[in-house]
């Protein structure tokens, strides 16, 4: 499956979540990652991501999950931020 993860996390946890996602997905820009992931990895990742959220803060994460890339079109305007190198 393919996922897009966008986050808005306060404080030092922003660095931690970036490092966490960098090991699993491709960095698109700022606080946006995307990539192919297995169902089992997705379940683990979703649970891990919940731990980054502090309930008394304005933290939020949105995960868009697709069973296939077949049904969407991705358009890049400008320069890609990062070469695809950080996948485990």
Provide the binding-site residues for a second copy, judged by CB under 8 A.
4, 6-8, 28-32, 46, 49-50, 53, 55, 58-68, 71-81
Q: Which is nearer to a second copy, 22 or 46 (CB)?
A: 46
Question: Terminal CA-to-CA distance of the chain, rounded, Å?
Answer: 16
CA distance 59 to 56: 8
Q: Which is nearer to a second copy, 15 or 30 (CB)?
A: 30
Longest dimension (CA), the chain: 39
Closest CB 11 distance from a second copy, rounded Å: 14
Closest CB 12 distance from a second copy, rounded Å: 17
**Signed CA dihedral, 38, 40, 41, 42: sign only:** positive
Residue 71 corresponds to which tokens in the numbers above? 């049904």
CA distance 4 to 76: 15
Closest CB 13 distance from a second copy, rounded Å: 11
Closest CB 33 distance from a second copy, rounded Å: 10
């Amino acid at each position: 499956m393919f996922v897009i993860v966008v986050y808005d996390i306060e404080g030092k946890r922003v660095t931690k979540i970036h490092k966490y996602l960098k090991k699993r997905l491709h960095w698109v820009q700022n606080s946006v990652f995307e990539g192919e992931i297995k169902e089992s990895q997705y379940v683990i990742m979703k649970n891990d991501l919940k731990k980054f959220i502090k309930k008394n803060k304005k933290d939020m994460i949105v995960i868009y999950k697709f069973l296939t890339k077949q049904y969407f079109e991705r358009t890049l305007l400008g320069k890609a931020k990062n070469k695809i190198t950080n996948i485990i």
